[in-house]
Structure 1
Amino acid sequence: MAYASIDGAGVRFGSSRGTFAALKRRFADYRRYRQTLNELEALSDRDLNDIQLSRFSIKEVAWKSVYGE
């Protein structure tokens, strides 16, 4: 199935299959982020200290591990 979208630069054509694949990938990345975040938040303060991580930086570490930014 194909689609067309109109934006300021004109008409763009694409396929819904590519759009669905991108959406599926983004959802999978978000699930990995949430899983990583939950696992790090479940660690005790002592465990976090052993891996030199503070509770304040858990979200940043989880984000970078999935999205690499």
Structure 2
Amino acid sequence: MAHTATLTHGGFNLSARFANLVERVKAARARAAEYQRTYTELQRLTNRELDDIGVRRCDIADIAREHAYCS
């Protein structure tokens, strides 16, 4: 049985690795901004509005995290 090794992290080229790092940082910042936007929007709702959509105030952080990082 033959096995092959594949290089998946962008190779050994320094400029490619740096570009990969920049892209990962941009993606992480975009996810963090999406988390913050979702969290803020939910926090601004009244308790009545949250109750209408079936969300408890204590679950807002979990919902925002799920939305930003798991979707």
Q: Give the TM-score of the pair, scaled to structure 1.
A: 0.79
Q: Which structure shows the higher strand fraction?
A: 1
CA RMSD of aligned residues (A): 1.8
Q: Structure 2 regions of 5+ residues with no counterpart? A: 1-12
**1:62 equivalent in structure 2:** 64
Gaps of 5+ in 1: 4-13
Greater length-normalized contact order (CA 8 Å, ≥ 6 residues apart): 2
Work out the CA distance in 2 between the residues paired with 1:61 and 1:15: 33
Aligned residue pairs: how many? Answer: 59
**TM-score for the superposition, normalised by structure 2:** 0.77
